Structure 1
Amino acid sequence: MTRLRSLLFVPGDSDRKFAKGRESGADVLICDLEDAVAPSQKEAARVRVSEWLGEADDIAPALFVRINPLDTGLTAADLAAVVRPGLAGIVLPKANGAQDVTTISDLIAPLERVADMTEGTVKILVVATETPAAMFALGSYAPAHPRLLGLTWGAEDLGAAIGITSNKEADGSWTFPFQVARAHCLFAAANAEVAPIDTLYADFTDDAGLESDCRKARRDGFTGRIAIHPAQVETINRCFTPSEEELAEARKITAAFAANPDAGTLGIDGKMYDIPHLVTARKVLAAAGEK
Structure 2
Amino acid sequence: MLTWLYAPADRPALVAKALAGPADVVIVDLEDAVAPENKALARAEVVRLLSVPQPRVQVRINDARTAQGQVDLHAIGTLTSGTAGIRLPKVESAEEVREVAQAVPGIDLHPLIESAIGLERAYEIASADPSVASVGIGEADLRADLGVSDEAGLSWARSRIVVAARAAGLPAPVQSVYTDFHDLEGLAESCRAGRDMGFRGRAAIHPSQLPVIEAAYRPTEQEISAANDIVAAAGVGAVALSDGRFVDEAVVRQARRILTDAVTTPGLQSPPPA
Q: SS of the residue aligned with 2:129? A: coil
Task: Provide the C-alpha distance between the structure 1 equivalents of 2:168 and 2:102, rounded to a whole number of angstroms.
Answer: 20
2:156 to 163, 180, 191: 180
Query: 2:237 matched to 1:264?
Result: yes
- Between stretches 187-196 and 62-71, larger displacement belongs to 187-196
Query: 2:266 matched to 1:282?
Result: no
Query: 2:100 matched to 1:104?
Result: yes
Q: 2:65 — aligned with what? A: 71
Q: 2:108 — aligned with what? A: 123
Describe how 1:136-175 pairs up with structure 2 within 5 A: 136-141=120-125, 143=127, 145-162=129-146, 164=147, 167-168=149-150, 174-175=151-152
Q: 2:267 — aligned with what? A: none
1:134 to 108, 112, 118: 118
Query: 2:168 matched to 1:192?
Result: yes
Q: 1:45 — aligned with what? A: 42
Task: Provide the C-alpha distance between the structure 2 equivalents of 1:235 and 1:55, rounded to a whole number of angstroms.
Answer: 31
Deviation at 1:143, TM superposition (A): 4.3
Task: Provide the C-alpha distance between the structure 2 equivalents of 1:145 and 1:245, rounded to a whole number of angstroms.
Answer: 39
Task: Provide the C-alpha distance between the structure 1 equivalents of 2:118 and 2:7, rounded to a whole number of angstroms.
Answer: 25
Q: SS of the residue aligned with 2:135? A: strand
Q: 1:116 — aligned with what? A: none
Q: 2:32 — aligned with what? A: 35
- Paired residues of 2:200 and 2:217 also in contact (CA < 8 A): yes
1:213 to 180, 190, 198: 190
- Paired residues of 2:126 and 2:132 also in contact (CA < 8 A): no
Task: Provide the C-alpha distance between the structure 2 equivalents of 1:38 and 1:100, rounded to a whole number of angstroms.
Answer: 24
- Paired residues of 2:138 and 2:176 also in contact (CA < 8 A): yes
Query: 2:5 matched to 1:11?
Result: no
- Structure 1, unpaired ranges of 5+: 110-119, 169-173
Cα deviation, 1:34-79, whole Å, max 9, x if unaligned, reads 111112211211110122223546xxx7100001112212223212
Q: 2:207 — aligned with what? A: 230
Residue type of the partner of 1:71? Answer: R
Task: Provide the C-alpha distance between the structure 2 equivalents of 1:220 and 1:239, rounded to a whole number of angstroms.
Answer: 13
Residue 72 and residue 53 in structure 1: after superposition, are their counterparts in 2 closer, same or farther (change >3 A)?
Answer: same
- Paired residues of 1:29 and 1:62 also in contact (CA < 8 A): yes
Q: SS of the residue aligned with 2:104? A: helix
Deviation at 1:145, TM superposition (A): 3.1
Q: 2:56 — aligned with what? A: 62
- Structure 2, unpaired ranges of 5+: 265-271
- Paired residues of 1:24 and 1:233 also in contact (CA < 8 A): no
RMSD: 2.1
Task: Provide the C-alpha distance between the structure 1 equivalents of 2:28 and 2:250, rounded to a whole number of angstroms.
Answer: 38
Cα deviation, 1:9-33, whole Å, max 9, x if unaligned, reads 1101002211221233111100001
Deviation at 1:228, TM superposition (A): 0.7
Deviation at 1:235, TM superposition (A): 1.0
Deviation at 1:218, TM superposition (A): 0.9
Task: Provide the C-alpha distance between the structure 2 equivalents of 1:106 and 1:236, rounded to a whole number of angstroms.
Answer: 35
Q: 2:269 — aligned with what? A: none
- Paired residues of 1:102 and 1:145 also in contact (CA < 8 A): yes
